[in-house]
A = this chain, B = another copy of it.
Amino acid sequence: MKIKIIVTLKKSVLDPQGTVIQQALNGMGFNDVNEVRQGKFFEINIDEKDQSKAEEKADEMCKKLLANLVIEDYKIIGSQ
């Protein structure tokens, strides 16, 4: 089963990388872009057929390794 996860910086945390991308886009003529925030995406292949069990494991992985919960949020966006 494939699990898709997105890890993003919390809203309250500054995202300088996103700001640079926004400035680059503005400079290229995309003037109506007023905010960019960057995050990470993970696609994890788990040898587990039960969807809820697989998502539970993915949740644990996020908490233990993939996301830094002090400054980041994570979201499981899909499994198949």
Q: Which residues of A contact B (CB under 8 A)?
A: 6-8, 18, 21, 24-25, 28, 30, 32-48, 57, 60-61, 64-66, 77
Contacts and interface: CB of A to CB of B under 8 A. Distances in A.
Given A32-B57, A35-B45, 6 more contacts: A8-B43, A18-B42, A25-B44, A33-B46, A34-B47, A40-B41
Contact of A46 (B6, B32, B46): B32
Nearest to A42: B38
Given A35-B45, A46-B32, A21 B66 contact: yes
Copies in the complex: 2
Nearest to A15: B43
16 contacts: A6-B41, A8-B41, A18-B42, A21-B65, A30-B57, A32-B48, A33-B44, A33-B45, A34-B45, A34-B46, A34-B47, A35-B45, A37-B42, A38-B43, A39-B41, A39-B43
